[in-house]
Structure 1
Amino acid sequence: MTWRNIMVKDGDYLRLKLDNLQIEKAGQKYIVPLSDIATVTLEGKILTLTTRLLAKFAQYNIAVIVCDNKYVPCGVYMGFGQYHRTAKRNLEQISWDEVLRKEAWTRIISQKMINQKDVLIACNLEKERINKMEELIANIQFADITNREGHCAKVYFNSLYGQDFTREQDCLQNDAMNYGYTIIRAYMARLVTSLGLIPTLGVFHRNEFNSFNLVDDLMEPFRPLMDWYIVDKLLPKYKKYLSWEMRCDLINFMNQSYSHKGRKTTIDIVMLDYVNSFIKLMQYGRDKELLAITLEGMRGVQ
């Protein structure tokens, strides 16, 4: 079971040591079994790794996230063809009933909006704003054809960060969310490809220039969980800029505890369960439920 999310900074040398990742820095060597690793995030201008190691990363289904000169994740490297029945699963996905596809999107986006509302409740924000969110959720139509999700997002972010806040502002809140969402996206892309799904063939997202339409669909309910993690754990701790320590904490979101049906697990494991529930919905139709991803699952861990 993979569970480590490795962060590597300037000046390191990464090489393959048997079936382990060996990290060399300042004369010290650190060994991590490849079978333990889910993602490796690389940042900085001076960093060396071998092609043999990249090949092993692909074979072990380890996602390698590359950051730009502003430390923002800008690319992801993954293996392909890891699932043993990829062609069969691809055909199932391509032939999926359009009505069921729209029903799945209604479930996904409704859960995201419910989680956003629950974030506002957890933050003890004004009742009138929570009531507005509840009204928008109650009025979702099939496949959200009236874009209640877009209206909900405006109320949500203005409630969290003020009436003048926009997602385009240059501020710590946006930097943290952008970084955090990219980490979720990379991890979700790893799961989608490893389970034989076509990442470009989305449920709702259909952008011809987007390689990860399905990934962007499936990650939606997890965004508010990242928002809560940032508001509750990180913004009280980090005040000025997206520091190295804050970036490490954002990556550590994947290891946060999550409670599901009385079982204590972690975000990365519940993401796997969630994608598997999506596959069952795709295969067997309305008889199968999409796993509900809730803020309570994250906050209710004892």
Structure 2
Amino acid sequence: MQTNSSLNEIPLDDIEVLLISTTQAVITARAVSELAKSETKLIFSDTTGEPICETVSYLPNNRSAALLRKQFEWDENRKAMLWTWVVNAKIGMQIVVLERRKLETEALRYEAGKLEINDVTNREAVVARKYFPLLFETGFERRDFNPYNAALNYGYSLLLSLVNRTIVAAGSLTQLGIHHDNDENQFNLGSDLMEPFRPIIDWWVSEQEIKEMNPELKIGLVELFNLELKFNGKNTILRNAVKTHVGNCLKYLNGDSEEVHIEVELGDEISSHAINGHV
């Protein structure tokens, strides 16, 4: 990596995700090729600094026709059960986030109690409509154009890329989801499996006083993936918890396990590393 003042070398094995956050950066075809071979996610931003696209390697080392056939034939009952666990874990994390912010959780607990197999009544969406105005402010909507939504979108894009990288590295396709089923979404499966960890992005963003998107805020969101936590009872960091979670889900869908545990325990690290007043 070369700038006007320095030349820095970083081993490819040390890079999981490379975010190009300016349209003024130049990257060679050779670099893109080598990053793809090392299964590194390469994310490009638009003129506003918002992530707009990412690379997907055609040839992960362990993708096979047999593995793809298995994915196309995933059992419908397993997909329904996994989506139920994912939604339950996501709502549980949203409740934890509200508790950390000392906010009311009764409405979310009520909706969580109505969750059914495969979330046929769409409790996930119902909870989201109640959750975000509680976490940020009355009248807050995810579709609004404001700095907080910009930060959320940025964090979600990074999370999705990490999930997608793990899916591809395992030899599976990101297009075939268990719940999301949009022909225009190349990352349906990633959009499904990332859900339990999205509230961690929400928590971090809600702790900041954001006036505009800037480099410090973006760096903070990138560094969030080194957050220390417990996942299924084991001490780890967020990025490793996400990879473990995706691996567990794929094993279950492929019939190699009979259950998926999704238990996240948060510490207090976000509060002590908040960057209020600087973003």
Segments of structure 1 that go 5 or more residues without pairing to the other structure are: 1-22
Q: Are the aligned partners of 2:174 and 2:189 in contact in 1 as well (CA < 8 Å)?
A: yes
Residue of structure 1 in register with 2:109 after alignment: 134
Q: How far apart are 1:125 and its partner, in Å?
A: 0.8
Residue of structure 1 in register with 2:150 after alignment: 175
- Quick one: which of 66, 70, 74 aligns to 2:48? 70
Residue of structure 2 in register with 1:14 after alignment: none
- Output the amino acid matched with 1:227: D
| Residues 257-301 of structure 1, C-alpha deviations (whole Å, 9 max, x = no match) | 22235533211111111111112211337x53223142x245589
Change (3 A) 1:45 1:208: closer
Residue of structure 2 in register with 1:13 after alignment: none
TM-score (normalizing by structure 1): 0.85
Q: Are the aligned partners of 2:79 and 2:178 in contact in 1 as well (CA < 8 Å)?
A: yes
Q: Are the aligned partners of 2:175 and 2:187 in contact in 1 as well (CA < 8 Å)?
A: yes
Q: How far apart are 1:171 and its partner, in Å?
A: 1.6
Change (3 A) 1:208 1:297: same
Residue of structure 2 in register with 1:222 after alignment: 197
Aligned residue runs from structure 1 range 3-152, under 5 A: 23-126=1-104, 130-152=105-127
Residue of structure 1 in register with 2:276 after alignment: none
- Output the amino acid matched with 1:117: I
Q: How far apart are 1:86 and its partner, in Å?
A: 2.9
TM-score (normalizing by structure 2): 0.91
- Quick one: which of 222, 228, 246 aligns to 1:257? 228
Q: Are the aligned partners of 1:112 and 1:222 in contact in 2 as well (CA < 8 Å)?
A: yes
Segments of structure 2 that go 5 or more residues without pairing to the other structure are: 271-279
- Output the amino acid matched with 2:259: E
Residue of structure 1 in register with 2:273 after alignment: none
- Output the amino acid matched with 2:20: L
Q: Are the aligned partners of 2:20 and 2:42 in contact in 1 as well (CA < 8 Å)?
A: yes
| Residues 99-139 of structure 1, C-alpha deviations (whole Å, 9 max, x = no match) | 1111111111111111111111111113xxx1111110011
Residue of structure 2 in register with 1:12 after alignment: none
- Output the amino acid matched with 1:90: L
Change (3 A) 1:52 1:105: same
- Output the amino acid matched with 1:229: W
- Quick one: which of 233, 242, 249 aligns to 1:278? 249
Change (3 A) 1:89 1:300: farther
Residue of structure 1 in register with 2:259 after alignment: 289
Question: Could you tell me how far apart the structure 2 residues matched to 1:82 and 1:155 are?
Answer: 40
Change (3 A) 1:139 1:280: same
Question: Could you tell me how far apart the structure 2 residues matched to 1:25 and 1:87 are?
Answer: 43
Question: Could you tell me how far apart the structure 2 residues matched to 1:300 and 1:32 are?
Answer: 28
Q: Are the aligned partners of 2:18 and 2:43 in contact in 1 as well (CA < 8 Å)?
A: yes
| Residues 60-96 of structure 1, C-alpha deviations (whole Å, 9 max, x = no match) | 0111100000000000013222132432221221111
Residue of structure 2 in register with 1:17 after alignment: none
Question: Could you tell me how far apart the structure 2 residues matched to 1:231 and 1:151 are?
Answer: 20
SS in 1 for 2:255: helix
Q: Are the aligned partners of 2:227 and 2:269 in contact in 1 as well (CA < 8 Å)?
A: no
Q: How far apart are 1:155 and its partner, in Å?
A: 1.0
Which stretch has the larger CA shift, 161-170 or 262-271?
Answer: 262-271
Q: How far apart are 1:227 and its partner, in Å?
A: 0.8
Which stretch has the larger CA shift, 167-176 or 212-221?
Answer: 167-176
Change (3 A) 1:178 1:192: same
Pairs aligned (count): 270
Q: Are the aligned partners of 1:93 and 1:197 in contact in 2 as well (CA < 8 Å)?
A: yes
- Output the amino acid matched with 1:115: M
Question: Could you tell me how far apart the structure 2 residues matched to 1:267 and 1:184 are?
Answer: 10
Question: Could you tell me how far apart the structure 2 residues matched to 1:56 and 1:175 are?
Answer: 31
Instruction: Give me the identity figure in percent.
Output: 26
Question: Could you tell me how far apart the structure 2 residues matched to 1:299 and 1:80 are?
Answer: 40
Aligned-residue Cα RMSD (Å) equals 1.8
SS in 1 for 2:9: strand
Question: Could you tell me how far apart the structure 2 residues matched to 1:140 and 1:34 are?
Answer: 43
Change (3 A) 1:65 1:137: same
Q: Are the aligned partners of 1:57 and 1:63 in contact in 2 as well (CA < 8 Å)?
A: yes
